[in-house]
Structures are given as C-alpha cells and as structure tokens.
Structure 1
Amino acid sequence: MGKFPQWVILGLTLTFLIGPFLIIILAGASGGNMLAFPPEGLSLKWYAKVFTVESFRASFALSMGIAILSTLCALGLGVPAAYALNRYRLPGSETIRTLVAAPLIVPGIIVGLALLRYMVVPLSVTVTLALFLAHTALVLPYAVRVVSSSLNNLRSDMEEAAVLLGCTRFQAFTKVVLPNIRGGVLAAFILGFVTSFNQVPVSLFLSGPGVRTMPIDMLAYMEITYDPSVAALSALLALLSVVIVFVAERLLGFSRYV
C-alpha cells in the first residue's frame, strides 16, 4: 500500500513523456484526410505517402549530410581540444571551456540571427555552407564534453608508459588514447548527429529557397497542407532517434558519457 503513490507518480510521469509520442503515432495512422486526434479510423497510407513527397526526400538527404559532416568536423576539432584541456594546464583553460560551451548556453534563435546578420549576409556565404558551419559550432560543445568525460576515466600513466617505451606523443595518442576512448568518441558522434538532425532555431534562420533541413521543411509543409503525413513523418523521425539512442546504449553504455 505504501508503494501506491510511487506507482501513480511513475505512471503519470511516463504518460507525460510517452503520451505525446503515442498521440503522434496514432494521428499519423489516421484514415481521414485531416490531422486530428482521435484518428478517423486507422490506415498506413500517410506513412506510405511520406516516402513519395519529393521535398521530404530532399530535406532528409540534406539533414543527413549536414548532420554527418558537421558532427565529424566537430569531432575533428573537439577530440584534440578535449585532450589538450584534460591533459595540459593551459592558461585560461576555464575561459576556453566556457567559450566552447557558449552554443549550449545562448538560445538558438540568437545564434541563428547573429550568423545570418554577420556571416551569411555580409560575406555572401551559401545557405548550405552556413548550415554546415552553424551545426558544427552547435555540436562542438557536445564533442568536447563527452570526450572529456571519457578521458577523465582513462589513466594518464598508460600514455606515459607508451612514451617511455619509445612512442612519440602523437603515436601514444593514436595507439593508446584513441583506442581506449573510442566508446566516448562514438557516443559523442551519436549525440551530435541527433542534435544536428533535429536542430530547429538556427536552421530556421539559415535555411533558404530550395535548401531546407527536414524540421524546417516540415514546418513549411504544414503551412500549406494539414494532412496527417507530417504526424507520420514525425513519428518515423522520433522512432529513428529512439532506435539510435537505444542501440548506442546497448553497445556503448551511452548513459555513461552524457
């Protein structure tokens, strides 16, 4: 009897977290022609239609490309930065950490507006390049923080032993450090990829005619069409994110790094 309130609270919490997801799934499976809940019958036609909309295919490809490339670039910058901040006493290291974390602190709308006003317009940067640079900057803090967490769990004397045995610092990094933090690097990639793919505020300012990421294309689609296909697409994207995180947790212990 004493556990009854805890079960009630747990049930309400799960309903609050999972309820909207279930509503979207059912709304996307509606047999009617308008987005509504409860659905007007059940049908998978809107899930099938998602794959026939040209703009969805183009925006999905763009989002995938930008998410993968920006995350790889962020890791290319973030892994050495995390290593330097973790292994060396750099002057102003705390200031550097704060600056690296700035994209997490500053609202995305402000970041998007600043990039549009001071980079895209005056420098005539293409929309695709602007999106790539912006997403790289947004993902970089995750790369630094997750890799730093992984480095904190790696004993530094392993690297020193490799140096004493004849390795250069670079060889010790590539042969000892990287293999031992690969779980953290992969976790940072997955977190960065999901963050970039689902990014809305910054992409909203930097998207242009014919160049829109998936979330922005979904917003534009809803301005002219109110059928359940957007709900179906939302459910598929949410399911994709859940599967990625679930697999990462099973294979890498994702929760240890974030």
Structure 2
Amino acid sequence: MNRLPTWLILTLTLTFLIGPFLIIIAAALSAGNSLAFPPQGLSLKWFIKVFTIESFRASFAVSMGLAVFGTLAALALGIPASYAMTRYRVPGAEAVKLIVSSPIIVPGIIVGLALLRYLVLPTGLGMLTALFLAHTALVLPYAVRVVSASMENLRTDMEEAALILGCTRMQAVTKVVLPNIRGGILAAFILGFVTSFNQVPVSLFLSGPGVRTLPIDMIAYMEINYDPSVAALSALLAFLSIGIILAAERFLGFSKYV
C-alpha cells in the first residue's frame, strides 16, 4: 500500500513529460490537412512532405553548420580554459567561471536582445556571423563545465610522469591529457551540438531573411501554414536528439560527464 503513492507520482510525472511528445507524434501521423489532435486517420504523408519543403532543407543546413562549427569553436576556447583552471591557481578563477556560465544563467531572450543591440547593430555584422558568435557563446559554458569535470578526474601524476620522461608541456597535453579525456570532450561536443541545434530565443533575434535556423523557420512556417508537417518535423528532431543522447550514453557513458 505504501508503494501506491510512489507509483502514482511516477506515472503522473512521466505522463507530464512524455505526454506532449506522444501528442505531437499522433498529430504528425494524421491523414487530415490541418494540425489537430486526435488525428484524422493515419498517414505518413507529412513525414514525407517535410523533405520536400525547400526552406526546411536550407534552414537545416544553417542549423547543422552552426551546431557543428559553433561547438568546435567553443571546445577550442573551452579546453585551454578548463586546463588552466584545473591545473593552475588562476587569479579570479571563480569569477571567470561565473562569467563563462552567464549565457546559461541569463534568460536567452535577454542574451539575444543584448547581442542584437550592442554587437550586431553597432558593428554591422552579418546575420550568419552573429549567429555563429552567439551559438559559440551559448555552448561555451557546457564545454568548460564538462571538460573541467573530466580534467579534475584525471590524475595529475600521469602528466607529471610524461614531463619527467622528457615531454614538453604541450606534448604532455596532446599525448597524455587529451587522449585520456576524449570521452569528456566528445560528451561536451554532443551536449553542445544538441543545445545549439535546438536553440530558439537567441536565434529569434539574430535570424532574418535568407538566414534562419531550423527552429525559427518552423515558427515562421506555422504563421502561414497550419498543417501537420511541423509536427512531423518536430517528431523527427526529437527522435534525432534522443538517438544521439542514447548513443552517447551507450558508447561514452554520457551521464558520467553531465
């Protein structure tokens, strides 16, 4: 009898979390011409139509490019920063960590408005460049946190042994440190990629004609069309994200790093 409330709470929680996703899938399978639940019959035609919409293909390429290169840029900045903060006594390290974490602490809509007002408009940056810088800044906190956690778990005597055996500091980093934290680096990349690809508030301010990320293009599409193709695309993106996370957990032990 004591277990009943626990199972009830668990069931309600899972329903709250998974219920909207199941509704979206059901709406995407509708045979009708408008987005509705319950579905009007069953059909896969809207999943097929997703791949025929030109704007979705173009914005998918933009989102993919931003997610990949923005995350790589964040790692290029985050790995040296993580190494410095975990291996040396850096003055103001806590303040640096707080500043680096600010993009995920401050609401995204404020970050987007601030970047538009104080970076894009005064400098005349192109939209694609502004989006790249914004996505890099948004992913940087995840890169620093995950890589720092991996470096803190790496024994320092391994690096010291490499130095004693004749390696330079750079060789010790490239031949000892980086190979031993590659799981953390890959986990940071995956987390950053998923975060960047699905990012909405900042991209909303920095997108424009001809340059849109996929989530923003989906919003614009729904302003004109109200068919289940958006639900179908949402379901596909959700499956993609879930697949990436499950694969990362299976092969990297993703939960160890986040």
Under TM normalisation by the shorter chain, which class is it? over 0.9
Instruction: Compute the displacement of 1:137 (Å).
Output: 0.3
Match in the other structure for 2:131: 131
What CA distance in whole angstroms lies between the structure 1 residues aligned with 2:75 and 2:82?
Answer: 10
Paired residue secondary structure (2:62): helix
What CA distance in whole angstroms lies between the structure 1 residues aligned with 2:5 and 2:51?
Answer: 45
What CA distance in whole angstroms lies between the structure 2 residues aligned with 1:2 and 1:207?
Answer: 53
Match in the other structure for 2:151: 151
Unaligned runs of 5+ in 1: none
Instruction: Compute the displacement of 1:257 (Å).
Output: 0.6
The one-letter code of the counterpart of 1:191 is: L
Instruction: Compute the displacement of 1:17 (Å).
Output: 1.0
What CA distance in whole angstroms lies between the structure 2 residues aligned with 1:24 and 1:83?
Answer: 43
Unaligned runs of 5+ in 2: none
Runs in 1 of length 4+ with deviation above 4 angstroms?
Answer: none
Q: TM-score, normalised by structure 1?
A: 0.99
Match in the other structure for 1:94: 94
Match in the other structure for 1:195: 195
Match in the other structure for 2:18: 18
Instruction: Compute the displacement of 1:2 (Å).
Output: 2.7
Q: TM-score, normalised by structure 2?
A: 0.99
Match in the other structure for 2:34: 34
Match in the other structure for 1:6: 6
Instruction: Compute the displacement of 1:152 (Å).
Output: 1.1
Match in the other structure for 1:51: 51
Q: What per-residue deviation string (whole Å, max 9, x for no partner) do you get for residues 72-128 of structure 1?
A: 000000000001000000111111111111111111111111111111111110000
| Count, aligned residues | 258
Further displaced range: 14-23 or 217-226: 14-23
Match in the other structure for 1:232: 232
Q: What per-residue deviation string (whole Å, max 9, x for no partner) do you get for residues 212-242 of structure 1?
A: 0000000000000000000000000011000
Percent of aligned positions with the same letter in both sequences?
A: 75
The one-letter code of the counterpart of 2:171 is: Q
The one-letter code of the counterpart of 2:236 is: L
Q: 2:253 matched to 1:253?
A: yes
The one-letter code of the counterpart of 1:236 is: L
